[in-house]
Amino acid sequence: MNNYSIDCLQKNSRYLKLLSKQYPSVAAACTEIINLEAICNLPKGTEHFLTDIHGEYEAFTHVLRNASGVIKRKISDIFGNSLRECEKKSLATLIYYPEQKLDIVKKTEPDMNDWYKITLYKLIEICRNVSSKYTRSKVRKALPKDFRYIIEELLHENENGLNKQEYYNQIIDSIINIDRAREFIIALCKLIQRLAIDNLHILGDLYDRGPGAHIIMDELIDYHSVDIQWGNHDIIWMGAGAGNKACMANVIRISARYANLDTIEEGYGINMLPLATFALEHYNDDPCSSFHPKIANESHYNDKDIKLLAKMHKAISILQFKLEGQTIKRHPEFKMNNRLLLDKINFKNNTIIIEDKEYPLNDRDFPTIDPKSPYDLTSDESDLLDKLTLSFKNSEKLQRHIRFLYSNGSMYLKYNSNLLYHGCIPMNEDGDFTEICYQDNNFKGDELLNLFDRLAREAYFGKSENKEFALDVLWYLWCGPNSPLFGKDKMTTFERYFIDDKSSHIENKNPYFTLRNDESMCKKVLSEFHLNPSESHIINGHVPVKTKNGESPIKANGKLLVIDGGFSKAYQPQTGIAGYTLIYNSLGLMLASHEPFESIQKAISEEKDILSTTIILEKNFKRIRVSDTDKGKELHDQIDDLKMLLAAYRKGVIKEK
Ligand SMILES: O=P(O)(O)OC[C@H]1O[C@](O)(COP(=O)(O)O)[C@@H](O)[C@@H]1O
Ligand SMILES: [Mn+2]
């Protein structure tokens, strides 16, 4: 026990008085100290890392429910050879999708009560196992209200204990007899899912081409503990929600390109009719060949839909190029003049000069561009943009999702000695961190990311005259040459639509992406962020690992892990797999690589789980305790404060209440 002097206690008396409101007596302070010290000795909770989901909600939902294989492993650990493989599979499917699986069982099972009974025993066994890492109080808080008391009884009673056996069996029988088995099983399955993972980390790009980013956001909002490191695709949605027109045009363009306006229209209730009307009016006779949407499943769309989508796609792309040009001109400090392209078009010859090279354009229909002032909006374009901006601002659901990205997200995160970020820390060829000047000060490394984080928040919440600048910074973060989220020298969107010569499409990655293979570089980054380089790791998303070409997700001698493996179907041909996820539990760090996922429907009806291969990256010989984690450090600080309060009570500096 620390020996606090009276002087020290008196100096801290204002804080101690406040603390004494929560712990009003010696007994209360002692109880809390014992409680916190006990928590510190528990094994650390399991962390789950996912990234680059790109709107693929089915695969995402599945990996969230199967906890990247954690639940399957628990079933195997607990039941070993006492269950057949097919029984383990069924049990796993039940835990992932209880409602749907119960409906299927009901159709074929001749003795439902018997099935309920056996299943309940198994589920309680698994619940006991997954809850053993937590304090009773934490488990209690996770219990569903309706069954709180019964589950607690079942978790803490030993059905083999002589006196309790009948009591235990009676509870199970009663649940079945009063017709509550279905609800009870669903509650237990959800509890297992909830307790299997203590904390979820998402390393960015929830949004983009896949069909259901809004569904993913709804799931995350309901998730018990999640943090998000913003990706470049998330940041344009944040920009669109905050009212930046260039970001909004990008968001609509990408949705049109991937024939995925459902997220905007049905997910967020934003009406695209004004864009459709505008497109039909101005591009009616234009085949918009380069703007044919990329459609995963052609059969969903008829010819007319595709033609209309192509016109909308072109209309919003031209708007994007105009708005981006205006942004670049407003901000010479962004140093993006090389991306001013509309004024480099020769409308007579139908060519463009980019970086001293002349290219023919594959399209000559630019009905809304005035060659003399190509970045000016026509009055129809202005009206359209005003309508769309208003709809984005007024979508209650979009705004809720954006606020969630702000409250649970950031540019980067330090968590239990790992450094998490989506893209990169901008670097020069020589490995120095790139400096950016803002308001006469230079920023680089962690300070640069902190600056961007602050400005990103100011763009949404700010009220000052700097807000407009901050809004443009959100767009810079999407595609600016020194954006940590983008990490490339330029985004060649214009070239990919209008120039056939593919050499103009090249986007060069920041030197970071080569330098990060070097262990000493990674250690330098970790030190920059004030982490101990010998025990910490960097965890990255953003660039898909081309496993097919022999690339490894483990870089720099294990210091850096890239877990973008292609949740997004568009990247799977390159990566050869369907994504990496990372699990960090009390025993160490494990990397899971997943085979492509067919569908939730097949996962349920055919019990087709994702096939995952897990490799252990680091194994701890001593189990990691809460005490060794960031939470543990917080708890130790609290314990110290409580000990000081105890001393204050005992030395009469503070009175018990
Ligand atoms: O495949 P598309 O639609 O042309 O998109 C490619 C664009 O997406 C980007 O790769 C950014 O998205 P990611 O963050 O998913 O890599 C850009 O660099 C590139 O210009
Ligand atoms: Mn990305």
pLDDT, one tens digit per residue, over 468-497 is 999 999 999 999 999 999 999 999 999 999
**What is the β-pairing status of strands 580-585 and 47-50?**
antiparallel
Phi/psi for 96 (5° steps) reads: -70, -45
Q: What percent of the chain has pLDDT over 70?
A: 98
> Cα of 295 to ligand 2 centre, how many Å?
21
In the structure, what pLDDT confidence band is assigned to residue 657 with cuts at 50, 70 and 90?
confident
In terms of C-beta density within 10 A (0-12 exposed, 13-18 middle, 19 or more buried), how is residue 373 classed? exposed
Q: What is the pLDDT of residue 313?
A: 98
Name the β-bridge partners of 618: 589
- The arithmetic mean of pLDDT across residues 220-244, rounded, is 97
Mutate to test the pocket of ligand 1, among 229, 316, 486 (most ligand atoms within 8 A of CB): 486
The set of residues, in sequence order, having a beta carbon less than 8 Å from that of 195 and lying 6+ positions away, is 127, 130, 131, 133, 134, 139, 142
| Closest atom of ligand 1 to CA, residue 54 | 15
Ligand lying nearest the CA atom of residue 505 = 1
pLDDT > 80? residue 402: yes
Q: Does 172 score more than 90 pLDDT?
A: no
- Atom of ligand 1 lying closest to residue 544 CA: 16
Please tell me the predicted confidence (pLDDT) of residue 87.
92
Can you tell me which atom of ligand 1 is nearest the CA of 491? Answer: 20
So what's the pLDDT on residue 646? 96
* For residues 489-518, average pLDDT: 98
Please give the pLDDT value at position 303: 87
Any atom of ligand 1 within 6 Å of the Cβ of 67: no
Please tell me the predicted confidence (pLDDT) of residue 526. Answer: 98
366 pLDDT tier (thresholds 50, 70, 90)? very high
- C-beta of 397 in contact with ligand 1 (< 6 A): no
491 lines ligand 1 (CB under 6 A): yes
Q: Is the pLDDT of residue 650 over 70?
A: yes
Average pLDDT, the chain: 93
ipTM of the complex: 0.93
418 CA distance to ligand 1 centroid (A)? Answer: 27
Q: What is the mean pLDDT of residues 114-132?
A: 93
Atom 8 of ligand 1, nearest CA residue: 491
Q: Is the pLDDT of residue 146 over 90?
A: no
How many angstroms separate the alpha carbon of residue 233 from the centre of ligand 1? Answer: 9
User: How confident is the model over 309-326, as pLDDT tens digits?
Assistant: 999 999 999 999 999 999
Closest ligand relative to 571 C-alpha? 1
Task: Say whether pLDDT at 71 is over 80.
Answer: yes
In this prediction, residue 298 has a pLDDT band, given cuts at 50, 70 and 90, of low
For position 293, what pLDDT does the model report? 94
Amino acid identity, position 614: T
Confidence of residue 199 (pLDDT cuts 50, 70, 90): very high
Distance of CA 479 from the midpoint of ligand 1 (Å): 10
> How many Å apart are CA 325 and CA 586, to the nearest integer?
51
Q: Judge if the beta carbon of residue 507 lies within 6 A of ligand 1.
A: yes
What is the value of pTM for the model shown?
0.93
Nearest alpha-carbon partner for 415 in 233, 543, 564, 538? 538
Does pLDDT of 126 surpass 80?
yes
If one counts every other C-beta atom within 10 angstroms of the C-beta of residue 262, the result is: 13
Task: Please check the confidence at residue 653 and state whether its pLDDT lies above 90.
Answer: yes
Residues lining ion ligand 2 (Cβ < 5 A) are 205, 231-232, 542
Beta-carbon contacts of 611 under 8 Å, excluding residues fewer than 6 positions away, are 594, 595
The vertex-242 CA angle with 238 and 247, nearest 5°, equals: 60
Average pLDDT in the 642-656 region?
95
* Cβ burial, residue 504 (10 Å; 0-12/13-18/19+): middle
The stretch 145-156 carries a mean pLDDT of 86
Ligand lying nearest the CA atom of residue 421: 2
Mean pLDDT for 518-532 is 98
Question: What is the residue with the minimal CA distance to atom 9 of ligand 1?
Answer: 491
Residue nearest ligand 1's atom 5 by CA: 493
Q: How confident is the model at residue 2 (pLDDT cuts 50, 70, 90)?
A: low
Nearest CA to ligand 1 atom 19: 491
Write out the two tokens for 421: 């970020």
d(CA 170, CA 289) in angstroms, rounded, equals 70
Give SS3 for 509: strand
Position 118 scores a pLDDT of 92
Rounded distance from Cα 53 to ligand 2 centre (Å): 10
pLDDT tens digits along 597-621: 888 888 888 888 777 788 888 888 7
What is the distance in A from the centroid of ligand 2 to the CA of 203?
9
Residues contacting 657, CB < 8 A, separation 6+: 20, 21, 24, 25
Q: In the predicted model, what is the mean pLDDT of residues 64-89? A: 92
Q: Is residue 422 in contact with ligand 1, taking CB distance under 6 Å?
A: no
Find the distance separating the first CA and the last CA of the chain, reported in whole Å.
Answer: 23
Q: Give the number of the atom of ligand 1 that is nearest the alpha carbon of residue 254.
A: 3
DSSP result, 241-298: HHT-HHHHHHHHHHHHHTT-THIIIIIT----HHHHHHHHHHSTT---GGG----S-G
The rounded radius of gyration (Å) of the Cα atoms in the chain is 28
SS3 assignment for 411-477: CEEEECCEEEECCCCCECCCCCECCEEECCEEECHHHHHHHHHHHHHHHHHCCCCCHHHHHHHHHHH
When pLDDT is averaged across residues 143-150 and rounded to a whole number, the result is 88
In the reported structure, the alpha carbon of residue 423 is separated from the centroid of ligand 2 by a whole-number distance in angstroms of 7
Which pLDDT does position 233 carry in this prediction? 98
Q: What is the mean pLDDT of residues 430-439?
A: 96
Task: Look at residues 623, 228, 169 and name the one whose alpha carbon lies nearest to residue 401.
Answer: 228
* Ligand 1 lined by 53 (C-beta under 6 Å): no
Please tell me the predicted confidence (pLDDT) of residue 1: 55
Whether 453 has a pLDDT exceeding 80, the answer reads yes
Which pLDDT score is estimated for 21? Answer: 96
Give the mean model confidence (pLDDT) for residues 241-247.
97
Cβ pair 47, 198 in contact under 8 A = yes
> Residue range 326-347: average pLDDT?
97
DSSP code per residue over 605-627: HS--PPPEEEEEEEE-SSPPBGG
CA of 27 to the centre of ligand 1 (A): 60
Tell me what the mean pLDDT of segment 540-566 comes to: 90
For range 632-650, the mean pLDDT: 96
Q: How far is ligand 1, taken at its centre, from the CA of residue 491, in Å?
A: 8
Expressed in angstroms and rounded, the spacing between residue 539 Cα and the centre of ligand 1 is 20
Q: Which of 229, 233, 422 to mutate to test the pocket of ligand 1 (most atoms within 8 A of CB)?
A: 233
The arithmetic mean of pLDDT across residues 269-284, rounded, is 97
Q: How many whole angstroms from 194 Cα to the centroid of ligand 1?
A: 34
Which numbered atom of ligand 1 lies nearest the CA of 423? Answer: 14
Please work out whether the CB of residue 488 comes within 6 Å of at least one atom of ligand 1: yes
The β-bridge partners of 538 are 419, 560
Distance 540 CA to ligand 2 centre (A): 10
Residue nearest to atom 17 of ligand 1 (CA): 491
Question: 205: Cβ below 6 Å to ligand 1?
Answer: yes
Name residue 654's amino acid. Answer: I
